[in-house]
């Protein structure tokens, strides 16, 4: 198929420009005429929690639209040595825009917390849908893998290594298309980096071995994601993190019998510790993946324009429906109260 050949320029230029223009228009309505602040929004409910904060569903008082606000405790970010990761997340998200990546509309802070205002993606996590389905058919897995791949290609074109690809970080929007979220480990990597970060099941061998590594780690993680979508579980697993790392470094890849020959072949080329053989890292770049027979019937140009029907459209009663997210106990501590701010100096950009 010819239109698979001219992905890169289009993915990096056309897709970016169209998305940026749309983002600019809406920013005026979110409240960019003035600095965003907590009083611009009505806090509705918690969508998720993490080690140093939580994500809330909110409604803008300016345009009535729903957003997700990620609230991060400054003290916890500093205590857990996540200052650089937090700044990276903001810097990367403020500089990119893509149909399959969550938009960051703005950031602000008070004495205690940082706030990141992002798209609300109402369909919940791909992880939840995968667990309910047990495993995906090859056509369903291919749809999600293609959208993730286009987002990765776009990021790599901007020298961004994502480093945390997993079903929990892929959200499903109201039309059934994906949005990648949580850029806490994303980093500009023109050549190599050394930080050990990511989710154990998805770590590439070169990260575990503390070698300098580059963007090829995202293609390894794409292989793990495809495998998990098709099997219902990741290819390497162990309760012990040490033994898990050992398996990633030494175990031979085994496939369930229902995997097609094309899927097995693609996964062998993605899940190889030999970087001189890993697809995505060779002379032909990402095209080795897009032109692989497993993606033979995929029109990536239509996919980028969200013109390929999604295999699943989440049930939603309206824009602010949060029924696809788990319920969490709400925090009693109100935000925005005056307090001493010993950590504000670390977060001047917010």
What is the set of active-site residues? 164
The two tokens of residue 308 are 């390929």
- CA 86 to chain CA mean position, Å: 15
Please choose, from the candidates 130, 26, 121, the residue with its C-alpha nearest in 3D space to the C-alpha of residue 70: 121
Please choose, from the candidates 83, 84, 32, 81, the residue with its C-alpha nearest in 3D space to the C-alpha of residue 60: 32
The two tokens of residue 2 are 């010819």
The beta strands (E) that lie in the chain are given as 41-50, 53-60, 66-73, 104-109, 113-119, 160-161, 170-172, 178-180, 187-188
Q: Are 183 and 89 in contact (CB under 8 A)?
A: yes
What is the number of alpha carbons within 13 Å of residue 90 lying toward its C-beta?
Answer: 21
The two tokens of residue 318 are 């309206």
Please, what is the Cα angle at 121 between 89 and 270, to 5 degrees?
60
Q: CA–CA distance from 350 to each of 4, 31, 114, 191, 237 (Å)?
A: 40, 16, 7, 28, 39
Residues facing 285 on adjacent strands: none
- CA 216 to chain CA mean position, Å: 16
Q: Are 180 and 97 in contact (CB under 8 A)?
A: no
The two tokens of residue 326 are 């788990």
Beta-carbon contacts of residue 96 (< 8 Å; ≥ 6 apart): 16, 154, 155, 158, 160
Question: CA-to-CA distance for 273 and 271, rounded, in angstroms?
Answer: 7
Question: CA-to-CA distance for 73 and 157, rounded, in angstroms?
Answer: 32
């Amino acid at each position: 198929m010819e239109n698979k050949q001219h992905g890169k320029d289009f993915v990096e230029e056309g897709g970016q420009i169209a998305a940026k223009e749309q983002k600019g228009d809406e920013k005026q309505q979110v409240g960019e005429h003035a600095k965003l602040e907590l009083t611009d929004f009505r806090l509705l409910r918690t969508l998720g929690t993490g080690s140093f904060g939580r994500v809330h569903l909110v409604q803008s008082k300016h345009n009535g639209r729903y957003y997700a606000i990620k609230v991060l405790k400054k003290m916890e970010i500093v205590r857990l040595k996540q200052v650089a990761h937090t700044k990276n997340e903001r810097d990367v998200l403020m500089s990119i825009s893509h149909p399959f990546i969550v938009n960051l509309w703005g950031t602000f802070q008070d004495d205690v917390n940082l706030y990141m205002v992002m798209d609300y993606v109402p369909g919940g996590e791909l992880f939840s849908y995968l667990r309910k389905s047990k495993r995906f058919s090859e056509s369903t897995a291919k749809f999600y893998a293609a959208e993730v791949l286009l987002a990765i290609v776009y990021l790599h074109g901007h020298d961004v290594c994502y480093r945390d690809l997993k079903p929990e970080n892929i959200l499903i929007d109201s039309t059934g298309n994906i949005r990648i979220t949580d850029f806490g480990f994303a980093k500009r990597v023109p050549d190599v980096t050394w930080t050990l970060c990511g989710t154990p099941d998805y770590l590439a061998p070169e990260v575990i071995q503390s070698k300098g590594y580059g963007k090829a780690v995202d293609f390894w993680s794409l292989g793990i994601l495809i495998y998990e979508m098709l099997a219902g579980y990741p290819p390497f697993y162990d309760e012990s993190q040490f033994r898990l790392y050992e398996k990633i470094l030494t175990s031979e890849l085994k496939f369930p019998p229902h995997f097609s020959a094309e899927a097995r072949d693609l996964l062998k080329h993605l899940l190889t510790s030999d970087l001189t053989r890993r697809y995505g890292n060779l002379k032909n770049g990402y095209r080795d993946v897009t032109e692989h027979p497993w993606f033979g019937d995929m029109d990536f140009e239509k996919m980028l324009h969200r013109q390929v029907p999604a295999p699943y459209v989440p049930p939603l009663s309206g824009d602010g429906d949060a029924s696809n997210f788990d319920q969490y106990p709400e925090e009693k501590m109100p935000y925005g109260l005056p307090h001493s701010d010993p950590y504000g100096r670390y977060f001047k950009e917010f």
